[in-house]
Each structure stands twice: as C-alpha cells, then as structure tokens.
Structure 1
Amino acid sequence: MIGNANILARRIPRQHRSRQTVEAVLAAVPLVLKRHGVASITTNRIAEVAGVSIGSLYQYFPDKSSVFSALHERHVGDVRNILERNIAAPKSSSFRELVVDLVEELVDLHSVETELHQLVSASVDQGPEHFRRALRAVFERAMAQCGSENMNRILFVLPSLVEGVVHGVTLSPLTSSQAKGEAVKATLAYLSAHPELGR
C-alpha cells in the first residue's frame, strides 16, 4: 500500500484553520487538473490554486504522493459510508434491491471527477481488492438472511462483478445515467440466475 510513510509523516490538522488549509489543498487538485492538465499537478501549483503558501502545504503534505494518498483515503471513506449505510438501514427488503441500490450509489460516486479518480488510483499503490472484500462482507451479511444455498458461488462472482462495473465508470464514455443503467442491467442479469435471493 502506498503511503504508509507519507501517512505517518503527515501532520494531523487539529485546529479549524489547519483543517481549512488541508481542505483547500485537496479541493485544489481537481481544479488544477481541469485547468492545466495532469502534467501541471505539482505541489507549487496546488498551493497556488489553493491560496496557501507552499510551506503551509508541506506542513500537512510532505510531497505530491501524500496529497493523492489523502484524496484516496477520502474516497475510501465515502465508499465505506455508502456500504455501511446500506447494510445498516437498507432502503429495500430484498437482497436484489439492496444490491441495485448499492450499485447505483457507487456508480454515482465514481461518476464524479472521473479523471481525478483515475489519476489518484494510478498514483496509489492499492488495487481494488479492499473494495471487493468490503463488498463481499456486505453481501455475505445480507445473504445470510436469505438462506441461499449458493452463497459461496455468488460471493465468488458478485463482488468482482460490482467492483468491475463501478470502477469501469471512470473509463467509460457513457453519461452517468447511461453507465448506471448498464451497471444495473449487468448486475441484475447475474442475480436472475439466483431467484432464491428475491425479486
């Protein structure tokens, strides 16, 4: 995993002003990307767009990799919140509907700032395994209530399927709505082979 050294080296913002500085730095990255392109993402340019001194940036981010690491941590937190919210208080009663709700929310999350997501994913040495494991845990908990006899087979396929279509959104030329529709169709096509999971 990236950035264990970077994470440890980062100073934790405790005061309101410090947190504002960190937020400004993180918010500046997509702006630099849109205005100037990937090659222009440097700590100096990030600090300039954020409206902070380079010294202030370095207090919290020793290098550009640590900025990307912080953006990745934030994204992982957003994904975790979606998963936890859906398993704690599902909007629907069936497993099938739970999965569709999750896919739709995760596609929405990954449809925002797709170029930034690609850049951060490429810069952070962490594959999608953690995402698949988290999905598997959610699906396993929900399926236990369905009493599916095919749980192991479904858990072999479904987390990878959902991870693939969700992360595929960042590379897709489709609109967010189109991508969501295709992701849901692919998921439902697989789930249709397992009617015991509910309609």
Structure 2
Amino acid sequence: MEAVLDAVPRVLKRHGAGAVTTNRIAEVAGVSIGSLYQYFPDKQTIFNALHERHVEDVKHRMERAVEQCASSTLDEFAACLVEGLVDAHIVEPELHEMVSAAVPASSLGFKEALQMAFERVIPSPEVGTSRPHAGDRMLFVMPHLVESLVHAVPQARPPFTVARAKGEVIRTVLHFLDRP
C-alpha cells in the first residue's frame, strides 16, 4: 500500500494538515476507503508506517555516509553524517513535523539508526578515537540539532538556506566534540 503512504504528502501539500483524513488519503491514493482500512485501520497506523519509512530512509543514508566516510577523520565523518541527516530531514518538512507530532516515540527509531552508524565507525582507529567520548557526544548532539534545524529552517526570517544551516550544525558539532 505504498500508494496510500505516497498520497499523504500530496494531501498535505494540496489541502493542508487539517485535510489529512483517511477519506482524503484514499481519494488521492486512488483506492477505496475499504481497501485503505484493510491495510491501515486508522490514520495513526498510516503515520506509524510513514515514520517507519522515514527511519529506514535515514538508516540507508547513514549507511551510505558510513561507507563513504568511514576512513575519514572524526571531524570529516561528522560533517559527512550531518550532510546526510539534514538532507533526509529537510525533504517535506511539513510532513516530517506532522508525523513527528503524531508518533510520540518518533525519535526512537532515528536515534537507534544513528547509534548503529556510530557503533560501526567509532571503534575504528581511522576515525579519530583519540577523543574518548566523541561518539557518545555525537549521538547526543546530532539528532537534537538536526531535529531542531528541520523545524526551524522553513520558518526562519530572513530565510536561512539549507547550506548555511548545514554549515552551522557542522560547526556546532565539531566545537562540541573538541570540548573536554
């Protein structure tokens, strides 16, 4: 029922958050309401599935970042990971915000995915392990910074570009890592 999940952002863009109902989702997805309910008994189940899809996307992006940047210094790895995380979250920020609000534990899957990425990389001697708690610090700081960024950038006045926002997050993470 990918069509149902794909319909939610279209409903949101065309009609706004208030119009995201199971009837409207079914209509835009081109399925009957009965078919929708066969797979998704309520709107919350749809949001849960969207959240799971998002977490999988974040996991894949982080795996790619780990593969591309694993032999880098810790600073380069942090920058590479920030790029991937921001890119994963900046797409459809309204949808991300709506799903985050609807799925109370929405950050858990994201944090677990981030933990897995760092566990694969931090023990490696090539990744600047001279900073004993760098991985723990990154695990704490990065999800919170990225989450805040996703919600703040679209509303920033004057407009704050994604490139500038990424740069600020990277500088903040690197500064935080350098603290004793």
TM-score bracket for this pair, using the shorter chain length:
0.7 to 0.9
Instruction: For residue 122 of structure 2, give the secondary structure of its aligned residue in structure 1.
Output: helix
* Alpha-carbon distance between aligned partners in 2 of 1:33 and 1:127, rounded to the nearest angstrom: 19
Where does 1:94-173 land on structure 2 (aligned, <5 Å)? Answer: 94-146=73-125, 148=129, 150-151=131-132, 153-172=133-152, 173=156
Amino acid at match of 1:58: Y
* Count of residue pairs the alignment pairs up: 172
Pair 1:110–1:145, CA change in 2 (3 A): same
Q: How does 1:10-49 map to 2 (within 5 A)?
A: 22-49=1-28
Q: Which residue of 1 aligns with 2:40?
A: 61
Higher alpha-carbon Rg: 1
Q: Choose 109-118 or 142-151, whichever is displaced more.
A: 142-151
Q: Provide structure 2 residue ranges, at least 5 long, that are not aligned to the other structure.
A: none
| In structure 2, distance between residues paired with 1:47 and 1:75 | 21
Does the aligned pair in 1 maintain the 2:55–2:113 contact within 8 Å? no
TM-score, L = length of structure 1: 0.77
Q: In structure 1, which of residues 60, 67, 71 is the aligned counterpart of residue 50 of structure 2? A: 71
Contact 2:82–2:142 at 8 Å: present in 1 too? yes
Q: Taking every aligned residue pair, what percent have the same amino acid on both sides?
A: 48
Give yes or no for contact 1:108–1:180 (8 Å, CA) kept in 2.
no
Q: Deviations over 1:57-93 (max 9, x none)?
A: 1121111011101100100101111222333453652
Q: Over residues 1-23 of structure 1, what are the superposed CA-to-partner deviations in whole Å (9 max), with x where a residue is unaligned?
A: xxxxxxxxxxxxxxxxxxxxx12
**Coordinate RMSD, CA, aligned:** 2.1
Distance 1:31 1:89, change over 3 A: same
Code of the residue aligned with 1:37 in structure 2: it is G
